[in-house]
Every structure is written in structure tokens, then in C-alpha cells.
Chain A
Amino acid sequence: MAKAVGIDLGTTNSVVAVMEGGKPTVIVNHEGSRITPSVVAYTKTGEILVGQLAKRQAVLNPENTIYSSKRFIGRRYSEVQSEIKNVPYKVVAGPNDAVRFEIQGKQIAPEEVSAQVLRKLAGDAAKYLGEKVTDVIITVPAYFNDAQRQATKDAGKIAGLNVLRIINEPTAAALAYGLDKKTNETILVFDLGGGTFDVSILEVGDGVFEVKATSGDTHLGGDDFDKRIVDWLAEEFLRDQGIDLRKDRQALQRLTEAAEKAKIELSSVVETNVSLPFVTADASGPKHLEYKLTRAKFEQLTADLVERCAGPVKQALADAKLSERDIDEVVLVGGSTRTPAVQALARRMTGGKEPNQSVNPDEVVAIGAAIQAGVLAGEVKDVVLLDVTPLSLGIETLGGVMTKLIERNTTIPVRKMETFSTAEDNQTAVDVHALQGERELARDNRTLGHFRLEGIRPAPRGLPQVEVTFDIDANGILTVTARDKETNKEQKVTISGSTQLSKEEIDRMVTDAQSHAAEDRRRREEVEARNHADAIAYQVERQLQELGDRAPVNDKARAEQLVAEIRQLVKNNSSDIAKLRQLASDLQQLAYGLSSASYSQAAAGGAGSQAGPQTSSGGPGPSAGDDVIDAEFKQTK
């Protein structure tokens, strides 16, 4: 089945997206960009260039390069007089007062220009997907009238596409945030693009959106913000150097690019440097431009532009007969809504509501259109909705730490198994303490269940292998199983509702873990340092036992002393990580010496020592078998 794509056919730029594996993806065009300029050029050689290529030659061919055709589509010539003044190409009246562009003596309809853009987007999408694309959804502003919508649909037809539906841009943006699932909510969509500003108020119920009001400013956008920075930089430079950079085309272009870059940077930092070395030259030599622009200064320069956004918001609220308190959701669209002052204004105008802005605002409309396309193509309903575990799951291991088996946000159903061992010699039972939470220590997390696996054959610590399995089925029911590999003895517990914590509870647990992260890490390191030192002490003790008299007397005395010191620290739950590590490392060195001594002495007798550690968490030696033992259980009595 052919894929249906969603197209945001914008005034300055267009974006195409598709549902892939149940998730919307923005398609990268042939030139490697996620956005395509809505520009079409008719060259002298009869070629038609679309997008970036058309833009690159625009200054050479201004009368045959059409941009902003969206401002003309579906409109009458008599309606667009004010727009005509802003464009360098020729706009004339066609049949029935329809708008036509006059290109090389021929009349071309805005629909045909938009069709070129649509054809390119669909073509690039087909190349990306590896299959033909014919079904599309195209978005239009909510205020578009029937004629404008019909003309947009016709543009699709001219491009050889099957337009499944024309949907409103604000509706698409709301869809991208899944707001169609809300019942009876009022949504304000705040769309500040490159050159246009649109406010729409929608009401959603039963998955249907209704546009209650629209307002806006057809000539307000990010470009105006850039221009303010350009002017400020040029004025400063004029004052300092006596040269007006705006009169030098090349300098102006560098200035415009630097201004846009500075604006973008000021969304995340409060101060940026605009640096244009060798920006120009006069008789005295080359000149460099170097200014610091703070966010405060930028906000001062653009305060009136931001304020101009307030009027349309008020107007839309008034038209919908709503107050700011009636707005349930705010959605930000358009790259300019990344500007902090614009966000602050959007918040202020909607009663301090936190806006939806997690989806890239340049792409959110196309993504919503792709979701709608997926629904219409029957793709979305087939997707199984998979749940995730909201918190990590694991068990308590030696020293009271939590060893995680399943990380939070893992998609379920899922099954994870790890092998553990005993912490003491001749330990015949292990306690399995299943936990849920993000903290490092077991006692700070939530207990899900407890059980005891008995009947483990007495053996030195670290030798028995206990497999612990966490299995969560699609319904979120967790089964924890512990099995002794040698005897096949098994114990299990089933816990339902491990995924049914309230949102608040989950958030609290996650935040708790974040705020205690440093302290928890330190405590975990302490436990690990103690476990590690203790494991080496144990290993060396065994080694000494086996070596008996063959151990060099000096080494033996020193080792015994270190073991005693470590044992004391472990017993006292010492938090002196440095000392524990130092002692462990000294003892380890001694152990290497002892084992080489034992090998050289044992070589004649042929009796190899088997004193290698079965390994413990963070232990030094390699694991003896195929199974890595991740941690040890302490037997509680």
C-alpha cells in the first residue's frame, strides 16, 4: 500500500513528513535539508528550478522567480493590491479577475507555482521512501476561504497528486501533540513564522476540531527580528567607523546572516558575540565588526514587534468570546516562537499556561499532517500501542544497593535475566527483594515483593549461580523468578500493578532520584568499594589457606594485616573510599605475588591453585564460567 505524506505548504518554506513505523518522520529533501524554500524560478533557458536552487539565482532573475505565491493563491486580483507592491515579479489580472504571474510573456496561475513545490516535495519523499507517492494531505491557514482551499487542492491535482484532504495548519499542530484525544478543550495555536503571524482558537471534542476564531498579522515574522539586529549593528558600525554597511550588498548579506545566527543563539544564551572580520575597507585599511549583543538588548530592540503579537491574540479571544482563563492548551508553531520574549508573551496572554513546544516548531504542522495522512491511509490504527515501565526495576544486592535489571522507560513486554551469586561461604538461601525506583540504595526505593530461595548446596561464596529473571507481560504484570542453576530449584513471585503508579508518584520518585543523585552515587561507590575490598580480602584468605606453609612469611604477615584492616573497615561500614581502594589495591598486588609464588612452587607437584575469585561486582578477576555474575546476595538471618 502506498504511503500518504503530509505537506506543510508554507509561505516561505515547506516541509514534508510521513508516518514510518507508527512514528512521524520529516523527510530530508534532495539537497539534504528538512525544509524546502517555497520558491520557483523560470530560467531564461526554459528550465524550472524549485526550492534552494531557485532561491540561489533569485537576485539574477527577480522578475521570473516566484516566492510567497501562497499570498496570492485562490485570490482575486483586486484583493491583492497591497501584496503586489512587495514583490519584484509581475502580477496581473487573468480571466475572472484571477491572479496571474506574468513570466516571460506567459501568464502563470499561483496554483501552478504551488504545484511545482508540491511536485518536488512528493518526488523527494518518493526517493526517500523508495516508493511512489501520490496520496497527500496539504495544510492551509485556518483563515483560508473556500476559493483558497480549492486552489490549493487544484495545485495538488496539477502536480499529479491525490489530495486526500486539506487541513488547517493549527489543527495539524494540535494533532502533532495528540490533542485530538482531549475532550471539550479550548486550544490556542500561536504561529509566528518567517514572515506571517497567525493566531487560531480551536475547540476539540470527539476527535473533531472546530475553529472558533482566527487572527494575525500577515507581515510579521522572524525576518523582522533579524532586520532589527542588522539595523542596530549597522548603526553602531556607522557611528564607530563612519561606514554604512547596508549600502554594501556583500556586507549586508554577511550582516543579515550574522544577525539571524545571533538571534538563534540568544534563545539559549543571554549574550553572544557578532564577529565579522574584514567586513569592509576604506582608505585607512580593512575594518572589522565586533559587537556584543545581550538578550536584554535584543529584547529592547524587538519589544514593539513582540508587543504586536499581543493584539491578534486579544482579538481572537474576543472573537471567540473567551477570556484567557478559558484556554486549556497553548501550542507554539514557527521558528520564531523559540525566542524567549515571544514565549513569555504567549504565556502572559494565556493566563500563564505552559505552552506545548516539545515538537520542533518548524516541523510541527507537517508532522501533524503526516499523522492525519497515516490515519486516513489506515496505517495508524494498526499500530499496537506499547506501554513502558515508568520506573526501573531490580533487586537488592550486597551492601543494600539496588541492582537494576530493567531500566525505566523500557518498552514492555520485556524479559531480562541476570546471574547472581552468594556473598558468604556455605550460604544455603538467598533473599530476593524486588524493587522499583531510581535511587541507588535499596532502602530508598519501593519494595515490590520479597521471597527466599532455599536449598542452595553449601559452597564457597561466589560459586553458586542464581539466575534472576524479571518478566513483564503486555499487561504490566511482573513475574520475578530466581533459579539455582545447579539444583534447578526455583521460586517466583508475581506482582501486578507495577506500572500502575499515579503520574505524580512516578514524577516524585524520578525527581527525588535526580535531587539525590550526587549523594546516592557517593553512597553506592562506598558500598562498591567495601564489596570490592571484602572480595579481595576473602580471595587472599583462601589463597593463604591453600598455600599454607608455602606462602612466603613476610608476604603472609603483610597480607593478613591488610585483610584484618579491610575487615575492620567493612564491619564499621567505613565511608573512606580512598582508603578502602588503597588497601584493596595493595592487597591485590600481594595476591599476584602470592599466586606466582604458588605457581613456581607448585609446578613440580603439578597441583595448580584454584584460588581465582569467582568475581563480584566490580571485582578484579575474570569470570570463571560463561555467566557473568553481576552481584551477590547477602544472606539475611
Chain B
Amino acid sequence: MASNAQSKSEPSESERLKAEIAQLKEDLRREHDLYLRSAADFDNYRKRVERERVSAAHAGKRGLILALLDVMDDFDRALAHAGQEPEPVVEGLQAIYRRLTALLAAEGVTAFESVGQPFDPTLHEAVGSVESEEQESGAVHDELSRGYRWKEELLRPARVRVAR
């Protein structure tokens, strides 16, 4: 019995080789799979890098424009204080403001009108609400800072007060 079992468990040379071939085939399959995965990963990576290169440029520009809009707000506030018959200095400031506006417009950055529109959180950020005679309840009463679009996308919501 014992010798019989032993002869069974002792594989012949060809069986051993078959097992080895099977093992090698399996190894090859695994390696090939790994290779394909890496190749696919790399291909995806390349595409993503390209995408990110475009969007990084976009995001960099966006950051700069957003910072510039703060200065535009300062202009808006400053010019709101100018009288009916502006002094030459104020007229000069207005000219600078127009230049800046034109420069941003050339990049596709434009302000949009909010006053009188119904409040919409996709365009407006509410800072408060006020009793209003001019506007219906739920409409934008006034802008504290203007909202801007960059081509189609919302660059910055308008800061508004809403009529109660």
C-alpha cells in the first residue's frame, strides 16, 4: 500500500514538465495581464494629463480673474460715490474702469444683471433681505457686488439682498 501510494505521488518526468508548462503559462498570463493594465493605466494617465493641462491653465486664469473682480468691486464702490458732475479725476477713473471692463470682456468675462430678477442660488448669493417697494417679494432688491460669467460658466455669483 505504502509503496503503491508513493509511486502514484511520484510524478513522471512528462507530468512534471506539463505542470511546469501550465505554471509558466499561468505566470505569463498574469504578467501579460499586468502589462496590459500598466499600458492602459499609462494611456489613461496620458489622457488625463492632457485634460489637466488644459484645466490647470483654465484654473490659473480663473484665480487671477477672480482676484481682479475684487478690484472691480472697489471701482464700483468708488464710482458710486462720484457726484453728478464728476471732476476730471473721477472721469479719469471712469475711463480706467471702462478699460478694465473691456479687457475682461475681451477674455469673455462679463457682468450680468441681477436686480429685479427672482432670487436664484445658481446665480446669486444672498447676504440679507430687505423691505422693498420697487421689487416683488423674492426678487433681488439690490446688488452688493456684481455677478460675473466667464463665457458660459458662472465665475462668481452676485452678492444680493432680496426683497421680503
Contact = CB atoms under 8 A, between A and B. Distances in A.
A250 B41 CA distance: 50
A281 B81 CA distance: 9
A106 interface: no
Interface in A308-332: none
Contacts of A286: 77-78, 81
A578 interface: no
B121 A382 contact: no
B81 A59 contact: no
Nearest to B154: A31
B48 A278 contact: no
Interface residues on A, range: 20 to 34
Contacts of B44: 20-21
B45 A21 contact: yes
B37 interface: yes
B127 A249 contact: yes
B125 to A, nearest CB: 4
Interface in B107-164: 119, 121-122, 124-129, 144, 153, 157, 159, 162
Nearest to B37: A382
Contacts of A384: 34, 38
A49 B119 CA distance: 14
A57 B122 CA distance: 10
A49 B60 CA distance: 29
Interface string B54-85: 00000000000000000000100110110000
Interface in A1-38: 20-22, 32
A278 B121 contact: no
Give chain B's interface residue range (CB within 8 Å of chain A).
Answer: 20 to 34
A285 B119 contact: no
A159 interface: no
A49 B121 contact: yes
A278 B127 CA distance: 18
B34 A382 contact: yes
Contacts of A57: 119, 121, 126
Given A56-B121, A250-B127, A277 B48 contact: no
A60 interface: yes
A61 to B, nearest CB: 8
A58 interface: yes
Given A21-B45, A250-B144, A384-B38, A56 B81 contact: no
Nearest to B43: A21
A350 to B, nearest CB: 35
Contact of A278 (B37, B77, B153, B159): B77
Given A277-B77, A277-B78, A58 B127 contact: no
B74 A60 contact: no
B34 A277 contact: no
A270 B160 CA distance: 35
Contact of A21 (B41, B74, B127): B41
Given A20-B48, A59-B127, A253-B127, A54 B77 contact: no
Given A21-B41, A22-B41, A384-B34, A56 B126 contact: yes
B122 A53 contact: yes
Nearest to A281: B81
A382 B38 CA distance: 10
Nearest to A23: B45
A59 B126 contact: yes
A53 B125 CA distance: 8
Contacts of B144: 250
Contacts of B121: 49, 53-54, 56-57
Most chain A beta-carbon neighbours within 10 Å: one of B121, B122, B129, B162: B121
A286 B78 CA distance: 8
Interface string A234-264: 0000000000000001100100000000000
B119 A278 contact: no
Contacts of A382: 34, 37
Given A20-B48, A382-B34, A60 B119 contact: yes
Contact of A56 (B34, B128, B129, B157): B157
Contacts of B126: 56-60
B34 A278 contact: no
Nearest to A53: B121
B129 A278 contact: no
Nearest to B164: A60
Contacts of A58: 126
A84 B126 CA distance: 24
Interface in B73-102: 74, 77-78, 80-81
Contact of A285 (B37, B81, B127): B81
29 contacts: A20-B48, A21-B41, A21-B45, A21-B48, A54-B121, A56-B125, A56-B126, A56-B157, A57-B121, A57-B126, A59-B126, A59-B127, A59-B128, A60-B162, A249-B127, A249-B128, A250-B127, A250-B144, A253-B127, A277-B74, A277-B77, A277-B78, A278-B74, A278-B77, A278-B78, A278-B80, A281-B81, A286-B77, A382-B37
Given A59-B129, A60-B129, 8 more contacts: A56-B121, A56-B124, A56-B125, A57-B126, A250-B128, A253-B159, A278-B74, A278-B78
Interface of A: 20-22, 32, 49, 53-54, 56-60, 249-250, 253, 277-278, 281, 285-286, 382, 384
Q: What 9 pairs between A and B have smallest CB-CB spacing?
A: A278-B77, A56-B125, A53-B121, A56-B121, A57-B121, A60-B126, A21-B41, A277-B74, A286-B81
